[in-house]
Amino acid sequence: MGIMDRTTSFTGMIAAVFAVIGGGYATWDTIGNSFKDNNILVWSPEHFEVSSNSASGEFKVIVARQKLRDDCAVEDFRLEVRDSQYIVHTAIPSVAKFSGAATETIEKFGYKFTINNADTVAKGQASLMAHIYYKCPEGNVVINYPSHENLNFEIQ
């Protein structure tokens, strides 16, 4: 193999490496921007509140969010409570789904819930968890409540 053949092979390898790097960056940039720009909502957990009560009682919740998109429909809303022993219990909300138009402001809304099988729930500090299932043009999306101290409450 002559010096010209080695130079051509080396140049080809360098060009291929740069093409892979450039293509990878372009792909990552496109995917990253699509995730960033397609957020359905932004939570405002500093406004969240969950009342305390006995396990067999009714709990009041206030949540806050800024809805960014109108093109996704809520398909399901599931609520859970993690008790002081880290056991997760199904909760029954007073609403089945949330709706509302996209807005530039933070919107608060409230609901109540009860806990299934309340006699098995440990007393003490608990956490509220929610899962909202959306159907969007790009596919199904699940959004969870954020992990935040304002979602902690006492089961008496």
Report pLDDT digits (tens) over 74-101.
Answer: 999 999 999 999 999 999 999 877 777 8
pLDDT at 31 over 70: no
Residues 71 and 104 in one domain: yes
End-to-end CA distance of the chain: 83
CA distance 103 to 100: 9
Residues 24 and 55 in one domain: no
Q: What is the pLDDT at residue 54?
A: 98
* Counted domains in the chain: 2
Residues 4 and 62 in one domain: no
Largest CA distance in the chain: 86
98-151 confidence digits (pLDDT tens): 777 888 999 999 999 999 999 999 999 999 999 999 999 999 999 999 999 999
Residues 96 and 122 in one domain: yes
Residues 57 and 87 in one domain: yes
Residues 57 and 83 in one domain: yes
Q: Give the pLDDT band (50/70/90) at residue 30.
A: very low
Q: List C-alpha distances in Å: 22 to 25, 26, 29, 42.
A: 5, 6, 10, 32
Supply the mean pLDDT for the chain: 86
Residues 15 and 54 in one domain: no
Residues 45 and 22 in one domain: no
Classify residue 93 by burial, with Cβ atoms within 10 Å: 0-12, 13-18, 19+. Answer: middle
Domain range spanning residue 63?
A: 41-155
